[in-house]
Structures are given as C-alpha cells and as structure tokens.
Structure 1
Amino acid sequence: MQDLLSALCLVAVIEGLFLFIAPLAWKRMAAQLLEQPSSALRGMGAVAVVIGLGCLWWARH
C-alpha cells in the first residue's frame, strides 16, 4: 500500500512540474488532445498502460 501511495505522489509531482515549468505548452497539448477522436486517445492510453506495466515489471525483477 505504501508503494502505491508513493507512486501516486510521484505522479502528482511530475504533473505539477509540467504545469509549473511550461504552462503554455501544457495548454497547447491539452487543446490538441481535445481535437483527437476518443478512439485515438483510448489507444494512446492503452499503449501508456502497457509500457508502464512493462517498466514496472522490469524495475521489480
């Protein structure tokens, strides 16, 4: 449970850094995401999940 909480805190730190360092770039990216079809976003999310799980497996073994 502590690992999960640590991971969620790191996600918040990374997201916050993006907003703090480059807010205009973040806004442009968000605007571009709104223009994408849902199926493309779903595909990108699936790829991110698979890559994340692969990296997590690699880091733990």
Structure 2
Amino acid sequence: MLSSLLVALCLVLVLEGILPFAAPARWKQLLRSVSSVSDRQARLIGLLSMITGTACLYLLR
C-alpha cells in the first residue's frame, strides 16, 4: 500500500514537472491566470479534479 502511494506521488511529480520544463513561459502565464481565480472557483476545480481522478481509478481497477 505504501509503495503504491509513493509510486503515485512520484508520477504526480513527473507530470507536474512536464509543463515548466517544456514551456516555462506558458507555465508562468498559467500561474498568473490561476492566481486570479476566486476561492470558490478554485474549490470547484479541485472537487471536479478529485471526482474525475477517483472515477478514473475506479474504472482502471
């Protein structure tokens, strides 16, 4: 269980690093636009992301 969690964390780090590595200017622009999002919108985006990720894991397993 712990091993699977660590593998998942490592994959998240790899995926999170792709955009800043491949297109740093676009990544900075994206960060600027995300910082202007309201707290409510950020929570909704986070909720939708968690639901989508959970559904994908359910379908894969």
The interval holding the TM-score normalised by the smaller chain is over 0.9
> Structure 1: where are the runs of 5+ without partners?
none
Q: What is the percentage of aligned positions where both structures have the same residue?
A: 35
After superposing on structure 2, the runs of 4+ consecutive aligned residues of structure 1 that deviate more than 2 Å are none
| Match of residue 58 from structure 1 | 59
Q: How many residues align?
A: 60
Structure 1 residues 4-48: Cα deviation after superposition (integer angstroms, max 9, x where no partner): 100000000111111100111111111001111110010000000
SS at structure 2 position matched to 1:30:
helix
Structure 1-normalised TM-score?
Answer: 0.93
| Match of residue 32 from structure 1 | 33
| Match of residue 16 from structure 1 | 17
Structure 2-normalised TM-score?
Answer: 0.93
